[in-house]
Structure 1
Amino acid sequence: MDGTQVGQVEWTIKGELILNCNCTVFCPCVVSLGKHPPTEGHCQTWGGVRIDSGQYGDIDLSGLNLGLMIEIPGNMGRGNWKVALFVDDRASDDAYDALVTIFSGAAKGTTGLFQMLVGEFLGAERQPVTYETEGKTRHITVGRKIDGVVHPVGGADPDEDIVIRNTQYWMGPDITVATATKGKLRAHGRVWDFDGRSAEICQIDWKGPGR
């Protein structure tokens, strides 16, 4: 990467993010913005990001995928998060470094809140990450770390997703209510199985260092 100081480089990521957590019903963090505790009192989450277009300075991030592991001991807004990042093994060295900078919060902008909320960054590593859409169903695999299948929860009109719109949620304003038919993670000493639990699908348009 060039010598521009971290936190001053212009960056953008557009694409889609999915999350599957241990909440028994839809995650209350979306509308409470972290003021209400998760349904189980603590949060365990895995996620996947598909980057349709993106750049960090002059480094192209388009077409790459990522996996995330997030653990929060109580209310989201109180911090002390533990986070691990799994970067697409197709990423160049520069793209890898750029994505770690963005998802650590150091690049500021949309993900800058990670610097305030993450108490322990468990590390980043390369993994083969696939993110595929079949109809309305999203399939994600992160090596042997994450194996997930997420789809929108059915509504009265089967052709229209249930979407919570115009939120102030950090990921994006419109969150599709979803669930996981498969939600397995095995990483960093954690073994999670969130089949049938809460999930979210969000179209993302992130940028920095300003918002």
Structure 2
Amino acid sequence: MIDWLIRGPEIATCNCAYGCPCQFNALPTQGNCKASVAMRIDKGHFGEVKLDGLHWAEIFAWPGPIHEGHGEAQPIIDQRASPEQRNALLTIMSGQESMPGATYFQVFSSMIEKFHEPLFKPITFTADVENATGHFKVDGVVDSKAEPIRNPVTGEPHHAKLSLRKGFEFLAAEFGSSTTKTQGKIALDWSGRHAHLTMINITGQGIVH
């Protein structure tokens, strides 16, 4: 297996209610799972290929819970990536160089039956993980925003953080509220749904503790 690592902030949004039941081994709020995810790689490599400073994003949709499969995915790679970097990121994102069950790339990919052709486009990304605030956008494809959950009476930010002893995406994440809209192969459109922001630090063997 090729040695790789990616480290940096990630924003994930999905169509579930705040908290996302999937994080607790429960069924998704809407009965299906739809999501958009993006990351900035502050430090990364795939073998000898450096990945520092690049972004990636992906749009997902499953007709039911993720574990029942039959999903589809739209990978999006930073337009600035070289051919070698593009191949490296697509290999990581498809779970090909991960131990079974060790990373969310491998788990999600094993539940997907259709990968759409990857897009190579500029990705705008900002994230303040601690304050559950962020935004990523790919023009003509996806626009996702995360902000703190608001107290319905006072309007004040309601900060919530989840800690997992055994996670394949993160060990700790700030939960928030998301607004997402897409164009293209996979249609997503919602506001006031789940978001989480976390610092990813992962290899093909799993999360780096």
- TM, length-normalised to structure 1: 0.85
Structure 1 unaligned segments of length 5 or more: list them.
Answer: 1-7
How far 1:115 sits from its partner (Å)? 4.0
Aligned alpha-carbon RMSD (Å): 2.2
Structure 2 match to 1:166? 164
8 Å CA contact retained: 1:31, 1:167: no
Number of residue pairs matched by the alignment: 197
Structure 2 match to 1:49? 39
8 Å CA contact retained: 1:103, 1:114: no
Match of 1:196 among 189, 192, 196: 192
Partners of 1:163 and 1:93 in 2: how far apart?
38
Partners of 1:154 and 1:123 in 2: how far apart?
38
Q: Quick one: percent identity of the two aligned structures?
A: 26
**Cα deviation code 1:54-112 (max 9, x no counterpart):** 00001011111111101112122222221110000011110001000000111114222
Partners of 2:165 and 2:177 in 1: how far apart?
19
8 Å CA contact retained: 1:54, 1:60: yes
- TM, length-normalised to structure 2: 0.85
8 Å CA contact retained: 1:59, 1:94: yes
Q: Is 1:125 aligned to residue 119 of structure 2?
A: yes
Structure 1 match to 2:75? 85
Structure 2 unaligned segments of length 5 or more: list them.
Answer: none
Structure 1 match to 2:97? 107
8 Å CA contact retained: 1:83, 1:123: no
Q: Is 1:12 aligned to residue 8 of structure 2?
A: no
**Structure 1 segments of 4+ aligned residues over 3 angstroms from their partners:** 133-136, 158-161
Structure 1 match to 2:184? 187
Partners of 1:41 and 1:112 in 2: how far apart?
22
Secondary structure at 1:197's aligned position in 2?
strand
**Cα deviation code 1:162-186 (max 9, x no counterpart):** 1111243321111211112x31111
